[in-house]
Each structure stands twice: as C-alpha cells, then as structure tokens.
Amino acid sequence: VPAVVASLAVGAAVPQLAAPLAAGAGVGLGLLQEIARWGSALPAGHLVMPAAPVAAIPSAAVLLALLLTLRRTTTVEALRRLGWTSAAVVWGWLIVVSLSDLRVRPDEGSELALHFLDVGQGDAAAIRTPGGHWILIDGGPLGRSSDAGRSVVVPYLRRHGVRRLDAMVLSHAHADHLGGFPSILDRMAVLEVIDPAIATAEPLYSGFLAQVEELNAPWMRARRGDGFMLDSVEFRVLHPDTTWDGWGQDLNENSLVLSVEYRNFRAVLAGDAGLPVEAVLAGRVGRADLLKVGHHGSRGATGARWLAELRPTSAIISVGDGNRYGHPAPEAMARLSAAKVEIFRTDQDGTIEVRTDGRAMTIHSRRGVVTHTVSEP
C-alpha cells in the first residue's frame, strides 16, 4: 500500500520512477491475495461476514492499533497505547454491531415468514414456520466469479440466527436455483433434501447429489401429491407429475411447484414453471394470496388463466438487475397489472419478507411495509 501511494505521488513528477514502484506494489498485493486464499482454504481459516462496508471497521481498527503500538517507543508506553486502543476497538465494535445489520436478530415471531432473497438473477426463498423451523427453497445463482449461496444466503440465514435447515428444496437443477446449494450444504446442517429428481447431464447437479450422499443427508424425490406439515404449515407439491406429457423433459417445465398454506393464507411458489405447467394445473390449484411468479417473470409464464384462477393479491418476481434475458417481460408484467396484482421485484425492492398469522399478510421491502387481509379459502 505505501508503494502504491508513493507511485501515485511521484507519478506526476517523475513517471519513470512511478512504474517500478507500482510494479513492486503489484507483486506485494498479489502475494497478499495468495496468502489470503491459502489461509481461507484452511479449515476454520475464515469467517463469513455479511457484505456491509461496516464489516471492514474492526479490521481497520485493529490495523490502526497495531501501527500505533508498534511505533518506536518505550515498552510501558507501548503497553499503555495497546490497552487504550484495544478498549477503543472493543467499544467501537460493540457500537457498530448494535447499530448495524451485523447483529444476529433471531426471527422469533409466532408467525409464518417467507423471505424472498435478493440473489440477483435466480431464486432463493427462506421460509420460517411459526415454531421456528426453516425451509430453504432454492439457493441462488452460481456464476463464474460469484456464489449467492456463500455471499448472500448463508450470511442472511446466520443473521437470522438459523443454525440448521429442516429442509432444502430444489425447484429444478439449473445453476440460477441450484448454484448456491453446495456452499450452503458446506456451511449449514440440512436435515432433508427435497428434489424433483429429473435426470439431467448438468454437472452441477451430479456434483450436488454426490455431496448430499457424502453428507448422508436424507433425500426425497418430490412428486405431485407429496407434502408435509410443520408447525401447522402445510407444504404440498403440486408439480411435477409423472403422468403428464412433458414429464422428465424440459427442466423448467418439470420445476417443483410448491403450495404453502397456513390457516387462511396460501402462497404458491412456481419455480421456473411456465404456461405448459399452468395448463396442466388448471382447475386444481385455486385461490392463493401470494404468488412467486414462474421463471423470473418471463413471457412464457404467468398466463391470464393462471392469474384468474389463483387471484393473488401480491406477486414476487425474483430477478437480477439488468439481466440478459430481459426478465421480467413486459407481457408478463402487463398480465399481472391487468389482473390487479401488486408486484414486488427483488431487483428493485431488494429482499422481500412476507409475514402472516394466517389472517393478514404484511410485506416488508425497501419500498416500505404494506398489509393485506388474507382471503377466506
């Protein structure tokens, strides 16, 4: 860092001197990065921190404390400075933690809560039952240099005091849904994995199955009609169905479509299912208060008939800002508007949290808080 500063300072006056200084600094920074990489690869060699700028404060303070104490001085003076700076660091850290998002806020309400995480172009939803059990549906995308499971989902769950997932549900084996699961499985206990289990050559999927097997986590194949109850919340698999024509073919159209019911409240999470699945399910789903829109709001999903049957009050579109697919499509947005559905988008509204006691649902997002009564079933 001093070499970088020096090279910038002399660059204007003596450019010939700036280049070797910058090159030397580059070697040093590269070495530092490698050391960090080796260190983080060791077991317990790193800590997962929420991605907030305040997270850098403690390390900066420790560095400053070291610089202050290591400057030439007597031993007594050095110890005195060390004492004061440590106290300042501890107090500073306590203030930062109590004021910021870093504080673990265990979700302790007696309501059902659905958290639609802002993971970019992909899906990840964490559901907390009234009794404090957590179910994760999809793990966010995995890109060449990004992993939403590691950088968004795990920090979010830890911040909410989640130690283990009662179930990890995969909607389908595409990287924008499955991508985050491997890092989540690495970092969090998972009691059961639920998967539509459609045969595919996706290497990400075979790697995931191998990991599940290695961890000895119970694995369940989800089919229409399957379901489970947890703290009076009913989870039902509406799709895939082995008896329909498109069975086992397109991964999107074999997405696990999930119904989540609690008292009068009902949510339908459509994965990446589109119009063909909506046609298969027609007449078999009924009213829902909340719809997690299929396939990130693509024009091949969320048809007028589907909306007329579900009559959702609110819809969530899990979508990345400026994604290359043009999601959500104007056609799907127009159909939602025509059906008078209130639309939330993770790219604009951030992480969206829906809380319900089964009679009313309250939606918290960057946009503020709205409350709707839940319709009679």
Nearer to Zn ion, 176 or 349 (CB): 176
**According to CB under 5 A, which residues from 13 to 42 bind Zn ion?**
none
Cα distances (Å, whole numbers) of residue 165 to 76, 168, 184, 203, 217: 51, 7, 10, 24, 11
Minimum Å gap between C-beta 254 and Zn ion is 13
Minimum Å gap between C-beta 343 and Zn ion is 18
Tokens of 81: 């400075």
Rounded to whole angstroms, how far apart are CA atoms 89 and 75? 21
The DSSP bridge pattern shows strands 227-230 and 219-221 to be unpaired
Query: Strand, helix or coil at 304?
Result: helix
Please select the residue that binds Zn ion; options are 176, 253, 278, 349, rule is CB under 5 A. 176
Nearer to Zn ion, 323 or 375 (CB): 323
Rounded to whole angstroms, how far apart are CA atoms 39 and 228? 42
Nearer to Zn ion, 272 or 289 (CB): 272
Bond preceding residue 328 cis, omega within 30 of 0: yes
Nearer to Zn ion, 176 or 278 (CB): 176
User: Which range in 94-102, 172-180, 241-249, 337-345 contacts Zn ion by CB under 5 A?
Assistant: 172-180
User: Which range in 31-39, 62-70, 265-273, 308-316 contacts Zn ion by CB under 5 A?
Assistant: 265-273
The DSSP bridge pattern shows strands 257-262 and 233-239 to be antiparallel
User: Which range in 52-60, 80-88, 176-184, 190-198 contacts Zn ion by CB under 5 A?
Assistant: 176-184
Nearer to Zn ion, 176 or 309 (CB): 176
Minimum Å gap between C-beta 179 and Zn ion is 10
Residue 253 makes contact with Zn ion by CB under 5 A: no
Please select the residue that binds Zn ion; options are 272, 289, 347, 353, rule is CB under 5 A. 272
Minimum Å gap between C-beta 134 and Zn ion is 22
Cα distances (Å, whole numbers) of residue 340 to 246, 311, 330: 31, 9, 15
Nearer to Zn ion, 198 or 361 (CB): 198
Minimum Å gap between C-beta 313 and Zn ion is 24
Could you tell me how far CA 174 lies from the centroid of its own chain? 15
The DSSP result for 62-128, as a single string, is HHHHHHHHHSS--HHHHHHHHHHHHHHHHHHHHHHHHHSTTS------SSEEEEE---SSS--EEEE
Helix 15-41 and helix 2-11: axis angle, to 10°? 160
Nearer to Zn ion, 123 or 261 (CB): 123
Site string for Zn ion, 125-164 (x = CB under 5 A): ----------------------------------------
- Among the listed residues 281, 327, 330, 328, the one whose alpha carbon sits nearest the alpha carbon of residue 308: 281
User: Which range in 73-81, 173-181, 184-192, 239-247 contacts Zn ion by CB under 5 A?
Assistant: 173-181
Tokens of 58: 């403690």
Nearer to Zn ion, 123 or 289 (CB): 123
Minimum Å gap between C-beta 21 and Zn ion is 47
Q: Binders of Zn ion: how many residues, by CB under 5 A?
A: 2
Minimum Å gap between C-beta 198 and Zn ion is 14
Nearer to Zn ion, 155 or 320 (CB): 320
Cα distances (Å, whole numbers) of residue 200 to 118, 197, 247, 270: 27, 9, 13, 20
Name the residues that contact Zn ion, by CB under 5 A: 176, 272
